[in-house]
A and B are shown apart, each in its own frame.
Chain A
């Protein structure tokens, strides 16, 4: 056993500086996005509900719609403008902060260890606990600054000080908790990809528990919110009582989880995990003889996890959709809901809005899958393949098939899930086909994002983050563009803006056709330039 003396922490400070140097773009950029998100949520909503009566009406509408409560949480003070303004950002934003904390923590622990760079550092005058301490320090420091600056931005937007601080600290505490979870996951497995998957699944489970607990009535499993750190973030109730004591729940959770990570870190060998690798087959299966077969091996785990999540997503949104209309009585409430989606029918509008959300998520999968092109190249996996009889375009298409057809599969899964859930409630079998088609209408927009990734891969391979930047930009334009009164040409930049809101609206094939052509054009540009450029 290594000692707990200060020697085991030696070298933490230079490691933090190294991490800051490496993250000099990603950390400030994420801070800017989150703070802008918080500030724009506040400024966008304050003007919409000038009177207490209008807020009470809106709050009643939201609290009476289990679908919205499940997605974003409950409003506890119907008169509070702050809580109404920050509803989305408290729960959903906290989950995004958790993702940021995960990325930062795994990036500086298991990723470094897997790449062998930690060994280089471990051989220097660096204590056993220093790398993990430095990674957690960086993540915690980032979410602390994030919370404080977000609070300042909210105060500047005109929201009360105490609530703003409570809001900022809810983000900080959530970030710290999931940085600890990520640190623990990084000790369990030998691959950074798996560590991220474990942490991501934990964040998803925490969000689901909160959704179940919040949507449950008095007789339901309300406790579910209280076993989820994302539920705690909600229960701090910023701008609606500011229950500071809930913050105390995060402390034992974070200390215990981080402590477990340190304990495992002290026991295991460098490079090893707690979940040992099992031996595999000594010879390859007969079908493993083509680039596509290799791509299937590399993509199948990720695709299966996404597909499972999309089926659940479909079942949940199909299941809660029926409740949307029945609870809405006031015209203002109806107006609020219809503004979220199409024009006809509250249920349809709700499903259309949620399928739009599924389209964004499916785009994220497409970007991730197409991003494999560049990561395979930079990991030097491409060179030995291209030194065989494999052609460049054939190889690129093997990964693209998963990016392009994968999003089709995911959206089909969500459409099926939603349709089956609707059918179970209404007995209408036609809902299945209708919702599958509605979900598939999102496909051309997801392909445009994939096309952007491929074009960047061919033309400017260093700009491998172009797909993510475009997705974040399109989502922000879609969410906040009309509130910020951006010009129509800017709003039209987002491919999601052109997808007909199905079900409910008239099916318009024209935008789907030209979005597909645009995606095809971007893909061809990427493939042609990739054929002509140097590898590596």
Chain B
């Protein structure tokens, strides 16, 4: 599969602080790629380099096969971008801004525009200064989604939307993927990434710390298991790969490394199982595990157990 975005070894420094410190990112054609990290991890800086708004100090960047710093206007005909903090000209109406941004990108589909206006429930006749944050975001989203482009770049696109409109957004993203479009979605809302993304990249302090499909990433971390046994278990804690074991008479709860799952299940089967619940790690647990590593002296396991 072709790669739509290829970034390697990206460095961007502001004075002595390194906003990006060797970041890598690959987005394949036709996928929805989640770009995850907490505030200040460097997500927006990366996206602005991808758009040619900032110049990287080191590393290589390719977007749709071109160099965004040199060929920005040509590449931008083929992509649509929604910033995290949408600011509009106060004396233009929402409808005017949608048309303007769409036309500057090379055209807008009027039928899709009116469908989107309806599903996002936006009044296009209001002056932009009268819009709330969520409505300003809708204007930028509609302008992007009504454009016929190959790549969509969204920077925390749902931060001002209510849950209903968040769902509308998710449906739109899924529809774009069905049409073979590529989506790069920066977010710190993990449920959103979990619901939408084929692959995710997790970044921390300007570096990519984890990248892959959710299945692959889950493989790297622990499954939580709770079980009701027929007898009080014994020797469970000696099984390698079992963590945070809590035994309450015949009830047990623990976190298990992927490779230790077999051993645990064999043990439980021997002990006699009345009921068993096994949950794959949520993205949130993956995330917390990643981030807890950076805190000196903290035990990774402690954070992953908070569920």
Contacts and interface: CB of A to CB of B under 8 A. Distances in A.
Interface of A: 114, 190-191, 277, 279-285, 288-291, 293-294, 297-298, 379-381, 383-392, 394, 532, 534-536
A391 B73 contact: yes
B243 interface: no
A281 B104 CA distance: 19
A281 B73 contact: no
B99 A387 contact: no
B53 A191 contact: no
A288 B100 contact: yes
B127 A389 contact: no
Interface of B: 48, 51-55, 72-74, 76-77, 79-81, 83, 85-93, 95-101, 103-106, 123-127, 129-130, 140
17 contacts: A277-B126, A279-B125, A281-B125, A282-B93, A283-B96, A284-B103, A288-B99, A288-B100, A294-B89, A297-B92, A383-B48, A384-B81, A384-B140, A386-B76, A387-B81, A388-B101, A534-B55
Contacts of A297: 89, 91-92
A279 B126 contact: yes
Given A280-B125, A283-B99, A389-B76, A536 B48 contact: yes
A438 B77 CA distance: 47
Nearest to A301: B91
B260 to A, nearest CB: 47
Given A277-B127, A280-B127, A536-B53, A390 B91 contact: no
Nearest to A380: B87
A279 B127 CA distance: 7
Given A114-B129, A279-B125, A388 B99 contact: no
Contacts of B103: 284, 288-289
A281 B95 contact: yes
Nearest to A293: B100
B73 A390 contact: yes
Nearest to A192: B90
A191 B130 CA distance: 11
A535 B106 CA distance: 22
A289 B93 contact: no
Contacts of A277: 126-127, 129-130
A385 B104 contact: yes
A385 B77 CA distance: 12
B286 to A, nearest CB: 31
Contacts of A536: 48, 53-54
A191 B90 contact: yes
Secondary structure of the A contact surface, majority rule: loop
Given A277-B126, A283-B99, A390-B104, 5 more contacts: A294-B100, A387-B83, A534-B55, A535-B48, A536-B54
Contacts of B90: 114, 190-191
A282 B124 contact: yes
Pick the most buried of A191, A279, A298: most chain B CB atoms within 10 A of its CB.
Answer: A279
A408 B127 CA distance: 32
A386 B85 contact: no
A391 B81 CA distance: 15
Pick the most buried of A383, A389, A535: most chain B CB atoms within 10 A of its CB.
Answer: A389
Nearest to A378: B87
Contacts of A190: 90, 129-130
Pick the most buried of A283, A284, A297, A386: most chain B CB atoms within 10 A of its CB.
Answer: A284
A167 B285 CA distance: 72
A281 B93 contact: yes
Pick the most buried of A280, A291, A379, A387: most chain B CB atoms within 10 A of its CB.
Answer: A387
A389 B104 contact: yes
Nearest to A534: B54
A536 B48 CA distance: 10
Contacts of B101: 384-385, 388
A383 B83 contact: yes
A527 to B, nearest CB: 15
A114 B97 CA distance: 19
A291 B54 CA distance: 21
B93 A381 contact: no
A284 B113 CA distance: 13
A277 B79 CA distance: 34
A190 B125 CA distance: 17
Contacts of A389: 73-74, 76-77, 104-106
Nearest to B96: A284
Contact of B76 (A114, A285, A379, A387): A387
Contacts of B98: 284
A106 to B, nearest CB: 15
B105 A388 contact: yes
A219 B52 CA distance: 69
B81 to A, nearest CB: 4
Nearest to A535: B53
A277 B129 CA distance: 9
A534 B129 CA distance: 27
Nearest to A298: B89
B172 to A, nearest CB: 18
A392 B89 CA distance: 18
A329 B176 CA distance: 84
Contacts of B53: 383, 386-387, 534-536
Contacts of A291: 104
Contacts of A282: 93, 95, 124-125
Nearest to B92: A297
Nearest to B153: A387
B87 A379 contact: yes
Contacts of B48: 383, 535-536
Nearest to A376: B89
Contacts of B55: 532, 534
B129 A279 contact: no
Nearest to B75: A389
